[in-house]
Each structure stands twice: as C-alpha cells, then as structure tokens.
Amino acid sequence: MKIFAQRLKSLRKEIGLSQEALAKKLNLYKSTIAKYETEKISPSIEMLIIFAKFFKVSTDYLLGLEE
C-alpha cells in the first residue's frame, strides 16, 4: 500500500489541505488520515472509493495500477 499512501499525501497537498482539513471534509479523524499516509492501515474498498471520488481520480490510480 506504499503507492496508495504516497498518492493520498500528494493529492492532499496538491489541493492545499492539511490532514486535519481532509479528515474534517470526509468525516474522519486526523489520526486516520495520518495512518493511511504512513501505511499503518489500508483503506477499505468503500473508503478507497470515497477518496477516488473526492480527488476525482480512479481507484486504479490510487492503488498504483495506472499513472
């Protein structure tokens, strides 16, 4: 899940959001975003879809299956 962690962090920074701001927009805890970005936890399929919709990218992109 290293690619997911890197892409999540990169996408978040591209739109100028802190971990806390992203967490607030998605109704999550800041610590949950931090755990995704440091590979401590992996997203569920449902959460992966939420991230993809929020950032307007495909789940394949988030998982590193496409550029």
pLDDT in tens, 24-46: 999 999 999 999 999 999 999 99
User: What residue ranges do the domains of the chain occupy?
Assistant: 2-62
How far is it, in rounded angstroms, from Cα 31 to Cα 28? 8
Q: Is the separation of the CB atoms in 1 and 39 below 8 Å?
A: yes
Structure tokens that stand for 44 in this block? 């569920």
Neighbours of 11 (CB within 10 A): 19
pTM of the model: 0.94
Mean pLDDT of 9-19: 98
How far is it, in rounded angstroms, from Cα 17 to Cα 9? 10
CATH of the domain spanning 2-62: 1.10.260.40
The pLDDT of residue 24: 98
